[in-house]
Structure 1
Amino acid sequence: MEPWKNTMKKKRRPTRRPVRLRCSVKNYDWGILGHNSKVARLFALNSGSDIDPAKPYAEFWIGTHESGPSYAESGSEQPLSLKSWIAEDPSVLGEKVLDKWGADLPFLCKVLSVQKALSIQAHPDKEMARVLHKLHPSVYKDDNHKPEVALALTEFEALCGFISLKELKDMLRTVPEIAELVGMADVEQILLVGEQHENGKQNTDLESMFSRLMLSSKETISKMISKLKRRLNLEKKKRQLTVKEQLVLRLENQYPADVGAIAAFFLNYVKLKRGEALYCGPNEPHAYISGECVECMATSDNVVRAGLTSKQIDVQTLLSMLKYRQGAPEIMQGVSMNAYTTRFVPPFEEFEVDCCDLPQSASVVFPSVIGPSLFLVTAGKGRFDAGLAEDDVVTEDDDIVEEGEVLFVPAHTKISITARSTELQLYRVGANSTFFKDL
């Protein structure tokens, strides 16, 4: 018998009523300082705490992962983690989610405030995650994969995936420092490869070049970057530097003599507008550069890093697991569900995200679904109706939601929300609707 099935005998009254959550914050050094950070504001409003103007606020975590658990406002004297609250009555997840993932949420939601670039990184697939967790459980905290999607709250910059063959050739022609490291014989061979050439050969060349860069000694990289900076500082007196050249100088200024700054030449540079999204699958190289976003992912905290960070790096593992697929990543615009709601459905069964902007006095209905949901209010104030039975005692204050509030909504619960402020902005995260269709 699965361990969670024993909890079905617990006597907590079954509920369809949403429960409010108190959530966790991370103060990593790449976060945005104090009151300028959306994460700081959301956490302060969610927890009732003050904002420290001198502290960076990086991530606001919503979910059950042990690295940043949320707590249910259950009325008990001792705070009860959301994971423990779910374990007392796993039926809140719905039968399909429970059968697939056990008594836990399959998804994790965060808000990120990025002042300084995050690491060049990738997340392992399930097979690699199991291996890494078994070998290094203190570093790789779980055995799950971590596909993710970032929905821009502001203009948001990122690196994601490898550049196309055409861009790779242009880079080798215009960045002599990399051409020198790779070796002119190899460069000439790559420049002769036709666009119609079989993809495997292109990927082998790319993998060889990128690995050579990432495995270079610190001394080699330091000299390479000094040479690059000297050249670009001279050239910018005569011409406008390219966007990628300017970015590499920005990254090197944040992380001096770091190989990650040079690695940016190999990756696609993406700038999202508010309301656009980017997804990264397992083993996809990426780095977030600046801006604020709502980030959703499978429930995992596994990250393999190789540059632009003060945290532990594992270059060999990263290189062994990377996908060397080339070309620009897809920018997701979402699908309109109604006049106010846009849905983002990435190709992962663990999660999907609804983004809702409600003008004053407007209402929207989130239909009952057969899995659980998390609701995050990022701006404004409104009132929600969960279609409760008549014997549920509810005060008007119980029905009010505003910026910084987070709700866990059990399966089979319809939610209606009406904006009371100038505009109400919220996000709903749930298991991917395609997962239910496939069953």
Structure 2
Amino acid sequence: MKAETRGIIRLKCSVKNYDWGKIGKESSVARLYGKNSGVETHDDKPYAEFWVGTHDSGPSYAVAVGYKENWILRNGNGALKKENDDNHYNLVRLKDWIEQNPRVLGDKVWEKWGSNLPFLFKVLSVAKALSIQAHPDRDLAAVLHEQHPDVYKDGNHKPEMALALTEFGALCGFISLEELKDVVQNVPEIVEVVGGAHTARVLHIDEEDREVEAKEVLQSIFTELMSASKVTISQVISKMITRLNAKREVRDLTDKEKLVLVLEKQYPADVGVIAAFLFNYVKLNPGEALYIAANEPHAYIYGECVECMATSDNVVRAGLTPKYRDVQTLCSMLTFIQVMIKHNA
């Protein structure tokens, strides 16, 4: 099928109904998907992500005038159903349409990527926190995909950038050494889990070997924490919540402490609740953006954004999730670079 390649080609895109998405018409994703697809959205259903791209996990479809067979989107995840109703659009998978019209991408893109778009574009509507996660680099992605193709869907890396549409909160990257010293002195529950020897090292890092030693001790603390038993984590989180509620009576809680209380309500007894103390907590205003490289930990907390990334659906999770957790892979893949987030106007 050769289609006209001049002008604008209309797309029908996919939607994801993950449970962390905003509900019904409160979700920009729901409103966008409803207008894009013509499908009625549900007021009691979460609408989390709107996908534009060629990835098999959520492909887009070109509205192809003159296509011989008539198909409609049966649901937001890309399933097609053949119809004889002339009122329905003629759809062809975008990847297949590009295959038939390679010039639309230009020679250089076609030579490197073929009919796959080199990027995946999304809109996100976040009602509650996403998992603590990282995306693998190309080398690790290839290994993970070969070993566990049911979990890691492709062999590509996934650097990404999020541009805030509303106020947008996220955990991103590890806190600086100075902040880590404050945590081990003021969050006794972390010390209880990982042990005093690890936390004592934080307070006595040699200035000459500061960067290397700080990475080593941070990796030790994070790995011990994420590998602790569910019973241990449940007990220390209970203590922490009691302590913070008592503190709230005598002083204002920090933004991170307030966040931890929110996360505990969303994911009770989850190790990600206490691990949040180890990450930078950033708040973006509309129009501000956050770049996340491969092998860097992050978790979106609330708000709406547009997101652009390499074409991949690979996610290594370890906290704030009911889904599969790959703690060993996450703890071994992270860079453990410690930074204080820079704000660039």
Structure 1 residue 191: Cα displacement: 0.6
Q: Which residue of 2 aligns with 1:288?
A: 300
Q: Which residue of 1 aligns with 2:265?
A: 253
Q: Which residue of 2 aligns with 1:265?
A: 277
User: Could you give the per-residue CA deviations for residues 408-437 of structure 1, whole angstroms, max 9, x where no partner exists?
Assistant: xxxxxxxxxxxxxxxxxxxxxxxxxxxxxx
Structure 1 residue 15: Cα displacement: 2.2
Q: Is the 8 A contact 1:277 1:332 kept in 2?
A: no
2:86 is the alignment partner of 1:96:
no
Match of 2:43 among 45, 53, 71: 53
Greater relative contact order, per chain length (Cα 8 Å cut-off, separation 6+): 2
Distance 1:289 1:205 in 2: 27
Match of 2:323 among 308, 311, 326: 311
2:240 is the alignment partner of 1:228:
yes
> What is the one-letter code of the residue matched to 1:315?
V
Structure 1 residue 214: Cα displacement: 0.1
Match of 1:74 among 29, 40, 64: 64
2:154 is the alignment partner of 1:139:
no
Q: Which residue of 2 aligns with 1:21?
A: 11
* TM score, norm. by length of structure 1: 0.72
Structure 1 residue 186: Cα displacement: 2.8
> What is the one-letter code of the residue matched to 2:337?
R
Structure 1 residue 233: Cα displacement: 1.2
Map 1:133-212 onto structure 2 (within 5 A).
133-193=145-205, 197-212=209-224
Q: Is the 8 A contact 2:55 2:116 kept in 1?
A: no
Distance 2:206 2:258 in 1: 29
Give unmatched runs, 5+ long, in structure 1. Answer: 1-10, 334-439
Structure 1 residue 104: Cα displacement: 1.4
User: Could you give the per-residue CA deviations for residues 87-113 of structure 1, whole angstroms, max 9, x where no partner exists?
Assistant: 002111101111222221000000000
User: Could you give the per-residue CA deviations for residues 15-64 of structure 1, whole angstroms, max 9, x where no partner exists?
Assistant: 23220100011111000000110000000000112120000110000010
Tell me the matched-pair count: 323
Distance 1:39 1:139 in 2: 25
Seq. identity, %: 61
Partner secondary structure for residue 125 of structure 2:
strand
> What is the one-letter code of the residue matched to 2:112?
K
Match of 2:288 among 276, 287, 299: 276
> What is the one-letter code of the residue matched to 2:26?
N
Distance 1:55 1:149 in 2: 27
> What is the one-letter code of the residue matched to 2:235?
K
User: Could you give the per-residue CA deviations for residues 180-211 of structure 1, whole angstroms, max 9, x where no partner exists?
Assistant: 22322332221122566431111000000000
> What is the one-letter code of the residue matched to 1:98?
W
Q: Which residue of 2 aligns with 1:36?
A: 26
> What is the one-letter code of the residue matched to 1:145?
H
Q: Cα distance 1:13–1:180, how it changes in 2: closer, same or farther (>3 A)?
A: closer
Distance 2:223 2:141 in 1: 21
Structure 1 residue 117: Cα displacement: 0.2
> What is the one-letter code of the residue matched to 1:295?
E
Partner secondary structure for residue 10 of structure 2:
strand
2:209 is the alignment partner of 1:219:
no
Partner secondary structure for residue 29 of structure 1:
coil
Match of 1:118 among 121, 130, 137: 130
Question: Would you tell me which structure has more strand in proportion to its own residues?
Answer: 1
> What is the one-letter code of the residue matched to 2:121?
C
Q: Which residue of 2 aligns with 1:436?
A: none
Q: Is the 8 A contact 1:64 1:108 kept in 2?
A: yes
State the superposition RMSD in angstroms.
1.4
Question: Would you tell me which structure has more helix in proportion to its own residues?
Answer: 2
> What is the one-letter code of the residue matched to 1:287?
A
User: Could you give the per-residue CA deviations for residues 135-193 of structure 1, whole angstroms, max 9, x where no partner exists?
Assistant: 11111111000000000000000000000000000111110111222322332221122
Partner secondary structure for residue 29 of structure 2:
helix
Give unmatched runs, 5+ long, in structure 2. Answer: 72-90
2:314 is the alignment partner of 1:302:
yes
* TM score, norm. by length of structure 2: 0.91
Q: Cα distance 1:150–1:126, how it changes in 2: closer, same or farther (>3 A)?
A: same
2:53 is the alignment partner of 1:63:
yes
Q: Cα distance 1:13–1:229, how it changes in 2: closer, same or farther (>3 A)?
A: closer
